[in-house]
Amino acid sequence: MSIASVDVIVTSPGRNFVTLKITTSDGVVGWGDATLNGRELSVASYLSDHLASMLIGRDEDRIEDTWQYLYRGAYWRRGPVTMAAIAAVDMALWDIKAKKAGMPLYQLLGGASRDGVRVYAHASGTDFEALSNAITGYRELGFTAVRVQTGVPGLGQIYGVSAAGPGVRYDYEPAKRSGDRPAEETWDTRQYLNHMPGVFAKIREEFGTDLRLLHDGHHRMSPIEAARFAKDVEPYDLFWLEDATPGEDQTALRLIRQHSTTPLAIGEVFNTVYDYQTLITERLIDYVRSAVTHTGGITAMKKLLDFAAIYGIRSGIHGPTDISPVGMAAALHLDLAIHNFGIQEYMPHNEQTLEVFQTSFTFDKGFLHPGDQPGLGVELDEEAAGAFEYTKAYLPVNRLLDGTVHDW
């Protein structure tokens, strides 16, 4: 059998998603997520203008060979657009292989290593009261881990704080449909560093020590600022501090490590194992944050996580709403199968998205399970997808109070 058709579906049920559909000559359909937030059409074009014709007629079972053909064959290696496109092809081929085997994908990856996948939710609030209500709400839903982001006095709308108001909010989405230019936010690291440790102190006082607490620095601190922050929050026992410094500077994490035992997570903007080479071999991180969607798919993620396992580093796969339900399902199958699982990010999709993508994963008391349908367990309804037209959206640009462009 062989690949008979390759189609790219762009849909926008509240936010944009790019999905790859591969159909085999005997009618088996596989789905892959190719969504790159704010730059969606570039991956859609990479797939339809460059890869589709290369895939027609290939043996759908040769997943490793196809991965190498697309990666090495491009000559221009790595990069988010290339690796998201390769990821989508890889996911779709694994979906097909597992459907043909009549098994959920995790069985082909070695079977379940656990009963369920511990997930963390996104608690945020412009002030402490709103944040505390959100944490309470998530605990009532059964979550055992929450990521905590809060407003900083003196700054306006900032990263990770839902603009939708207080409480349990599933609709946090940083990309704004703001016409032809990104929205702009303001930032001041000094105010953040002064404010944040007190917030963790109050959370521990109110919620005790059982709750797993995560926090995302979102690339904004310099190495020495991050070292101070990691040291200041040590008494509050964070599960992890994510993206303390800009990701491309791997050796910056050495400085943070020298000053603190706060566990570190990084990698949502990475796209190959090479981005982690120093971080993993020098044990500068504790969690790998890559998305299956942005790191070349299941084939590449399995290798990356096996490499991390040798150094005692665990997974923390990226899973905000800009990862489609297809990408999320791919993460869950890996999470269930690998030994060095850490935690999975979970930001449930809105109702419109779940009309377009029919999912079979289930949530129970803070844990997700990918379900036992053959394949990834997600099917896209093309008619429903057709009702939601692509709408240009950008991630915000960040500026310091004096107007200097800063990392967002």
Quote the least distance from Cβ 216 to Mg ion, whole Å.
4
Beta strands in 159-288 (DSSP E): 184-187, 212-216, 240-242, 264-266, 287-288
Q: Is 349 among the residues known to form the active site?
A: no
Question: What does DSSP assign to residue 235?
Answer: G
Quote the least distance from Cβ 320 to ligand KDG, whole Å.
4
| 3-class secondary structure per residue, 50-116 | HHHHHHCCCCCCCHHHHHHHHHHHCCCCCCHHHHHHHHHHHHHHHHHHHHHHCCEHHHHCCCCCCCC
Q: Which residue has the tokens 């509240």?
A: 14
Q: Residue 160: what are its φ and ψ, rounded to 5°?
A: 85, -5
Site string for Mg ion, 247-286 (x = CB under 5 A): ---------------------x------------------
Site string for ligand KDG, 192-231 (x = CB under 6 A): ------------------------x-x-------------
Q: Does the protein bind ligand KDG through residue 375 (CB under 6 A)? A: no
Q: Which does 225 bind (CB under 5 to 8 A by kind): Mg ion, ligand KDG, none?
A: none
Q: Does the protein bind ligand KDG through residue 345 (CB under 6 A)? A: yes
Q: Is 218 among the residues known to form the active site?
A: yes
Q: Are 264 and 284 contacting, i.e. CB atoms less than 8 angstroms apart?
A: yes
Q: Does the protein bind ligand KDG through residue 174 (CB under 6 A)? A: yes
C-alpha 347/C-alpha 169 separation (Å) is 9
Quote the least distance from Cβ 318 to ligand KDG, whole Å.
6
Q: Which amino acid belongs to residue 161?
A: V
Q: Does the protein bind ligand KDG through residue 269 (CB under 6 A)? A: no
Catalytic residue among 218, 294, 318, 369: 218
Q: Residue 145: what are its φ and ψ, rounded to 5°?
A: -145, 135
Catalytic residue among 71, 120, 138, 159: 159
Q: Does the protein bind Mg ion through residue 40 (CB under 5 A)? A: no
Quote the least distance from Cβ 352 to Mg ion, whole Å.
24
What are the distances in angstroms from CA 259 to CA 66, 234, 366? Answer: 44, 10, 32
* Binding region for ligand KDG (CB under 6 A): 37, 174, 216, 218, 242, 268, 320, 322, 345, 395
Would you please indicate which residues are annotated as catalytic (active-site) residues? 159, 218
